[in-house]
Amino acid sequence: MGSNAETRRSGCPISCSLDLLGDKWSLLIVRDMVMLRKHYFKEFLASAEGIATNILTDRLNRLEGSGIISKQPDPENRRQIVYTLTEKGVALIPVLVELMSWGKIYAGTTSVDRDKARRMQQDRRYKQRVIRELTEGCTSTPGRS
């Protein structure tokens, strides 16, 4: 499902967002770029969730098609493509932070302190700081960290 008016299910902005992002993988690629500073196909492929090559290719094309990421030849190796977030992609950070916050409490992750997660869920200033720091990280010069 694409991004233009013909393929929108309705004018509701939540529905329009899900037209672009409503699948199990797109936001994980954005997460990889925001939180793990990944920029290369091979890096996305190596993420813990084990995305298949064809799905990754499809999702990168869709994310580029909807203006969430852009791709350029890597300046250090022009046979390689480097993927970066656009302003539209960076603006998804608050969505990621809320999904992370909800997931820590409710989605059955075992690796976190749930009480601490609940305190963070309530703490808007903490979330705001996380969003600001991640945004700054994404809008500085891209590259492997």
Give the tokens for residue 115: 């009480």
Q: Enumerate residues 12-51 that contact a second copy by CB under 8 A.
A: 12-25, 27-28, 31, 47-50
Binding track over 67-86 against a second copy, x by CB under 8 A: x-------------------
Q: Residue 82, SS3?
A: strand
For a second copy, which residue of 112, 119, 123, 143 counts as binding (CB under 8 A)?
A: 112
Give the separation between CA 78 and CA 12, rounded to whole angstroms: 41
Backbone angles phi, psi at 105, to 5 degrees: -90, -40
When the beta carbons of 100 and 138 are compared against a second copy, the nearer one is 100
Give the separation between CA 11 and CA 31, rounded to whole angstroms: 26
Give the tokens for residue 23: 């699948």
Write out the residues near a second copy by the rule CB under 8 A: 1, 3-5, 8-25, 27-28, 31, 47-50, 67, 88, 91-92, 94-112, 121, 124, 128
